[in-house]
């Protein structure tokens, strides 16, 4: 990982999970993800690669219960780390949007780093699980990330037959939208008429 000024290290320890995250917003998209859930690792690796945000994330979770706590807490820790990197959010573009196709699937993501957490997630997944991951937890990852990142995140899968493709297109679209939203503008202005984000 590079040593940019937009880095953060977060540790989140509960009775359900023990998570360590390092994020570099100005990295090169290299990652090391180990959540214990293979499909979640795959999705977060794609998020890192296509956003350009370098991410190291290690989680030991209560997977003997199920994958919910791990999925939720990894997203909460990752969002908190990105939020810390953004500081008071001066000098960033704030908004980002992207479409990503993956074969027959097409996903759209729109992000506002507004300081106000909100999410609308419509993936249209039909399977109960992808690998070891319950599909309901895929939606919950986006919701939890929005909460701790303090961002409005809208993600829609517009078409597609394969749930793996639909999910992966959604994560990649979010990655590209985040890349745009966290990009530096070259000044120190606050991208808000309120004077605060």
Question: For 157-197, what is each residue's pLDDT tens digit?
Answer: 999 999 999 999 999 999 999 999 999 999 989 999 888 88
Q: Tell me how far apart the alpha carbons of residues 109 and 178 are, in angstroms, rounded to a whole number.
A: 9
Do the domain assignments include residue 128?
Answer: yes
Q: pLDDT for 37-88, tens place per residue? A: 999 999 999 999 999 999 999 999 999 999 999 999 999 999 999 999 999 9
What is the structure's pLDDT at 1?
42
What is the structure's pLDDT at 194?
87
The set of residues, in sequence order, having a beta carbon less than 8 Å from that of 119 and lying 6+ positions away, is: 142, 143, 145, 146, 147, 152, 153, 154, 155
Do the domain assignments include residue 105?
Answer: yes
* Residue from 32, 129, 18, 146 nearest 79 by CA: 146
Please report, rounded to a whole number, the percentage of residues in the chain having pLDDT higher than 90: 93
Query: Where does the chain have alpha helices with state H?
Result: 38-51, 68-86, 135-149, 163-182
Return the half-sphere exposure (C-beta side, CA atoms, 13 A cut-off) of residue 84: 15
Domain of 121, CATH number, reads: 3.30.230.40
Helix-then-strand count for the chain, H and E = 4, 10
Please report, rounded to a whole number, the percentage of residues in the chain having pLDDT higher than 70: 98
Interior CA angle at 193 toward 144 and 84, to 5°?
35
Do the domain assignments include residue 74?
Answer: yes
Do the domain assignments include residue 148?
Answer: yes
Owning domain of residue 100: 7-182
CB contact at 8 A, 138 and 130: yes
Domain count, the chain: 1
Q: Tell me how far apart the alpha carbons of residues 110 and 67 are, in angstroms, rounded to a whole number.
A: 27
Do the domain assignments include residue 174?
Answer: yes
The token pair that represents 34 in the structure block: 């180990």
Confidence of residue 2 (pLDDT cuts 50, 70, 90): very low
> To which residue do tokens 């009775």 refer?
15
Do the domain assignments include residue 197?
Answer: no
Do the domain assignments include residue 2?
Answer: no
Do the domain assignments include residue 133?
Answer: yes
């Amino acid at each position: 990982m590079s040593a940019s000024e937009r880095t953060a290290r977060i540790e989140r320890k509960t009775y359900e999970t023990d998570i360590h995250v390092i994020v570099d917003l100005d990295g090169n998209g290299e990652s090391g993800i180990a959540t214990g859930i293979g499909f979640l690792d795959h999705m977060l690796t794609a998020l890192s690669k296509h956003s350009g945000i370098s991410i190291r994330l290690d989680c030991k979770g209560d997977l003997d219960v199920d994958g919910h706590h791990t999925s939720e807490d990894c997203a909460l820790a990752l969002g908190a780390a990105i939020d810390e990197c953004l500081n008071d959010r001066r000098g960033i573009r704030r908004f980002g949007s992207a479409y990503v196709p993956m074969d027959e699937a097409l996903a759209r993501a729109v992000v506002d780093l507004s300081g106000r957490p909100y999410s609308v997630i419509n993936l249209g997944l039909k399977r109960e699980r992808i690998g070891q991951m319950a599909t309901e937890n895929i939606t919950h990852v986006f919701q939890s990330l929005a909460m701790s990142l303090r961002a409005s995140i809208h993600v829609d899968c517009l078409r597609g037959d394969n749930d793996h493709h639909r999910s992966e297109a959604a994560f990649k679209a979010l990655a590209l939208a985040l890349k745009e939203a966290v990009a530096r503008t070259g000044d120190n202005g606050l991208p808000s008429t309120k004077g605060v984000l």
